[in-house]
Amino acid sequence: MIELYLSKVKESSETEQAGKYYARVSYKQTMTIQDMAHHMAEHNTIFSEGSILGVLTDFIHCVREMVLNGNTVKLDNLAIFKATVEANGLETLYDASADKVASATLGTLKEGDKTGSAIKVIKLLAQSTGDFTREELKKDVKLSWTDKTKAEIAAAKGGSTNGGNDNQNENPGGGSTTNGGNENENQNPEPGTGGNPSTGGSGQDDTGGNGGGGDADN
């Protein structure tokens, strides 16, 4: 069950979302690799929690190794992991005036540079696949309001029948936002909830999106 709360964009926001409510996910906790090993060990497996933890730890290291070797790692029904880049825009492959060529290195171009380091940033791209694509997730997801939001909705409903005293709290979920319907995955305004696991890259559904100019994902 995924619980939701409502966040209201401030009336003063100079956007078309001003004054509107948007649903946000209330994250319960962050599950660490240790937590997952403990959870898996409870599923009537013959493997101990320690054994599972060791395998998962080694697996993560191996995924990183494969990604840094330029491979794509596909975990069926979970995600596809690969490296992606944010590229610098190079005007030429060779600048005779500076005797500089385009180089397959990380760096930033100084003002006036026509060529140099081709890559600005390298990062991990995780694309959902199989059971974790949007189409598959929506088949099984169950949604509910948090208890706090249920109470706020009930109060708003009651207020509308006795003079229209609606709840004037601009942020009933505990955190205002100015980005409309797009969820800010770095915020966790609901009290008592854990932070979001960081994937190090964008999570997209089998899109093969490129990060920055010049990045090509096959």
DSSP 190: S
Is the pLDDT at 129 greater than 70? The verdict is: yes
Q: CB under 8 Å to 83, separation ≥6 — which residues?
A: 67, 68, 70, 122, 123, 124, 125
CATH number of 2-205: 4.10.520.10
Per-residue pLDDT tens digits for 174-204: 444 444 444 444 444 444 444 444 444 444 4
Output the pLDDT for position 177. 43
Contact 171, 12 (CB under 8 A): no
- Return the domain boundaries, the chain: 2-205
Per-residue pLDDT tens digits for 2-21: 999 999 888 887 888 888 99
pTM over 0.75: no
Per-residue pLDDT tens digits for 137-166: 999 999 999 999 999 999 999 876 554 444
